[in-house]
Amino acid sequence: MMLYEGTIIDAHIHPFICEKDCIGRFGTPATLEEMASTLRANNITRACGTVIERKIAESFEDIRKWNRMGLQAKSLYPDLFIPGIHVHGAFPEESAQEIGYMYEKENVRWIGELVAHSTGTGAYDSPGMFAIYETAVKWNMPVNIHCADLEVVENVVKNFPKLNVILAHPDDAASFLARSELVSRYENLYLDISGTGLFRWGMLQYCVKLLGAHKILFGTDFPICNPAMYVAGVLAEKLSEKENELIFAGNFLRLTGLAL
């Protein structure tokens, strides 16, 4: 594998505490330790994301439980895992309190990945979510969302120009072109490269030319996807040293204000 000597921050992972909650499809990794060792073996310095339990939230207690599981992953591997947190459009007041608590007490600086079809968050542009975004702006917390409906994404970024929104996944073919074009039109909209898309040769160079490297974040969606492919995929496109630095870590650090 190609080696990279700089910092790599994976902005899109899904840690787990119990084996049953691993969303990898083929029985691996079986433990959080195996997940951590795989990330490290691929030179990934730190990794951020939400715990996904594959169930629709029945109350905010489910949301709170998943967030505490993320904190547990951090406590077990403080030099690797960075928690992302869940919020829920049906519980805007509880979500606002959770954001404030996580920011002030736990040094959490990232919301998401939010996956509405897995957790039942509801529409990303619902009144409840809009109330939550107001709190996210107050705390300067970026939000990473999984959303195929680009009209919804545009509605969010237009209504909240001070909210930094990271659109998860480039996707493929025509969908990728539409997603990247939308990102190019809004200063507060970014793209993470996890999931489908990076395997298309030239996709990353196209993104850098269209968006600028400052709008792209490294992510793998591990344990669903193979992290080695994403590290190698970035390096194979022979970007400049500065572009690699921004994509691999600089943009995440700038958006979160975290210091490693």
Q: Tell me the per-residue pLDDT of 114-167, one tens digit each, with 9 for 90 and over.
A: 999 999 999 999 999 999 999 999 999 999 999 999 999 999 999 999 999 999
The whole-angstrom separation of Cα 194 and Cα 220 is: 4
Higher pLDDT, 25 or 91: 91
Q: What mean pLDDT value characterizes the chain?
A: 96
| Tens of pLDDT, residues 201-219 | 999 999 999 999 999 999 9
pLDDT band at 20 (very low <50, low <70, confident <90, very high): confident
Q: What is the mean pLDDT of residues 216-244?
A: 97
The whole-angstrom separation of Cα 179 and Cα 232 is: 23
Domains and CATH numbers, the chain: 9-256 (3.20.20.140)
CB neighbour class for 78 (10 Å; exposed up to 12, middle 13-18, buried from 19): exposed
Q: What is the mean pLDDT of residues 7-25?
A: 94
> The tokens of 231 are what?
């590290």
Sequence-distant (6+) residues with CB within 8 A of 73 are 15, 16, 17, 32, 51, 81, 83
94 has a pLDDT exceeding 60: yes
At residue 1, the pLDDT reads 53
At residue 21, the pLDDT reads 87
The whole-angstrom separation of Cα 223 and Cα 194 is: 11
189 has a pLDDT exceeding 60: yes
